[in-house]
Amino acid sequence: MAPILGALADFQGMKGRLFYFFTSLGMLGTFALTAVPSDNLFLLLAVFVVSFIGYSSANVFYDSYITDVTTDKLMDMVSSAGYGFGYLGGLVPFIIFMVGRSFFSSYGSV
């Protein structure tokens, strides 16, 4: 789907709309996973596929925004910084969780 979605993003005003649509689809699909009964594997798989399509498609449009936020000369630096900050954004909550878990488990609360 990525080549087709990439071509659609080139139309005037479509990039933002499609980005928000697929981001919403991914978020709603992820949220819907919490409502699927644990014994219904096929429904779980279908909802996961919808969520993954939303996430992956939103990334196509997210990546296309690099040309709107920087110049050709700074594109590598901005892209690398965004990639690094993304990892940092995932690492910080993980560390907070692990520290909190070890702190509370030592007191028997968890």
User: Mind listing the pLDDT tens digit for each residue in 36-90?
Assistant: 998 999 999 999 999 999 999 999 888 888 888 899 999 999 999 988 998 999 9
Distance CA 58, CA 78 (A): 19
- Minimal CA–CA distance to 35: which of 20, 22, 23, 50? 50
In DSSP notation, 29-52 reads HHHHGGGS-TT-HHHHHHHHHHHH
Owner of token pair 């939303």 = 54
What does the pLDDT read at residue 107?
67
pLDDT higher than 90, residue 35: yes
Alpha-carbon radius of gyration of the chain: 19
